[in-house]
Amino acid sequence: MDFGSFDRRQFLGAGGAAFVCTLAGHKLFLDQPADLPKLAGNVKVPPKVAAAQGPAATQFVSDTTASAAARAQREYWISAEQRGWNIVPTGYDEMMDKKVKGKTQFKAYTYRAYSPDFKEPLKRGKIPGPLIEANIGDTVAVHFRNKLDVPVTMHPHGIFYTAEMDGAYKGKYTDPGGFVQPGQEFTYIWDARPGTEGIWLYHDHGPMDPIPLYKGLMGPLIIRDPAKPKPDVEYYIFMHSLQPVATNLPQQFGCMNGRAYAGNTPTLESKVGDRVAFHVIALDNDFHTFHIHGHRWVENGTVIDTKAMGPGDSFSLEFTEDNPGRWFYHCHVFSHLHMGMNGWYLVS
């Protein structure tokens, strides 16, 4: 079977019709596109959300939140927006040296960074979203605006936050940050307390979860120890899939940062002598394994060259580059590899 050109019949035969979840009373399956705006119309607005975000309100910031935002060391303005996205912009699979057949464009959901007070966009929205960066001890304020037509949120991993800053839908117990309605805003306050150092992530965890995430609402969050030097070169890699339930395309793609197949996924570069860091995140319904040809790293005294990861896992690896050449980085689950979860690492 050609895993690069899975049609729906093949996808079903391979177990692709797996049940995902139930949204607004409807069962969703990986091979069947979901109509999110229609489904969202059947989701009740939770009581606390209705009270805080009435028809005339555009932003909810409690007194406590406002004072915390004023003293934040790190401040971000991020919106959720829809944009056209091409999973295979070259139309070519450089690993197998062949064309990729079929449609590869869909309407993605992306997080997009703005200048202060949302005055102007800094870049186009992309998969994954903008890096949120903090040092240990920092307070982080994220001003979030929803420009989609369904309620979505921002939920962080790793960093400390109070219950009302969770960014998660909890049914009738939902706080305003867990159900940001179209056209409205919410300010999240998170604290990079000691013990939270590392590579983490943020993603939608609202009432339409997990489909907005599957459509691209994810991004990296890193908390650094300022006493430690930064690497010379560092890369952020999301391992995930783009499936028919989210894309309305007839095939599934294995992706690195929203793209599939070498030549489309990020081409990473370094040179001999560089201190190199890869920050790797897995975020879909599958387990993945991260592998770089010709390289290895050390964790707790053990030499590693392939790392297994479950959904929501994240880790960083570092090494001093000593092996020039053209290398692959990829998922070592072979079906994922041949659905596009691979890329080039070039060392000069």
How high is the pLDDT of residue 4? 42
What values do phi and psi take at 290, rounded to 5? -100, 130
Q: How far apart, in whole angstroms, are the C-alpha atoms of residue 52 and residue 57?
A: 8
Buried b (16+ CB within 10 A) or exposed e, 259-269: bbbbbbbbebe
All domains of the chain in start order, with CATH? 4-35 (no CATH), 42-347 (2.60.40.420)
- What pTM does this model have? 0.90
How high is the pLDDT of residue 66? 60
Q: How far apart, in whole angstroms, are the C-alpha atoms of residue 283 and residue 160?
A: 20
Q: How far apart, in whole angstroms, are the C-alpha atoms of residue 188 and residue 143?
A: 6
Q: How far apart, in whole angstroms, are the C-alpha atoms of residue 49 and residue 226?
A: 38
How high is the pLDDT of residue 1? 31
How high is the pLDDT of residue 218? 98
Report the 10 Å Cβ neighbour count for 343: 26
Structure tokens at 219: 């991004």
How high is the pLDDT of residue 15? 42
Max Cα-Cα span within the chain: 60
Report the 10 Å Cβ neighbour count for 236: 21
Identify the bridge partners of residue 343 per DSSP, sorted by sequence position: 329
What values do phi and psi take at 280, rounded to 5? -115, 135
Q: What is the pLDDT along the chain (348 residues), one digit of tens a residue?
A: 343 444 443 443 344 457 777 776 678 888 888 889 988 888 999 999 999 865 444 454 444 566 666 667 899 999 999 999 999 999 999 999 999 999 999 999 999 999 999 999 999 999 999 999 999 999 999 999 999 999 999 999 999 999 999 999 999 999 999 999 999 999 999 999 999 999 999 999 999 999 999 999 999 999 999 999 999 999 999 999 999 999 999 999 999 999 999 999 999 999 999 999 999 999 999 999 999 999 999 999 999 999 999 999 999 999 999 999 999 999 999 999 999 999 999 999
What values do phi and psi take at 157, rounded to 5? -110, 155
> Distances in Å between the alpha carbon of 38 and those of 25, 34, 35, 44?
12, 9, 6, 13
How high is the pLDDT of residue 133? 97
How high is the pLDDT of residue 20? 74
What values do phi and psi take at 130, rounded to 5? -65, 150
H/E stretch holding 316 reads: strand 314-320
Q: Is 142 left (phi over 0), alpha (psi -120 to 50) or beta?
A: beta
Q: How far apart, in whole angstroms, are the C-alpha atoms of residue 131 and residue 221?
A: 6
H helices within the chain, ranges in order? Answer: 8-13, 36-40, 47-52, 63-70, 211-214, 244-247, 334-338
> Distances in Å between the alpha carbon of 203 and those of 14, 219, 223?
28, 6, 16
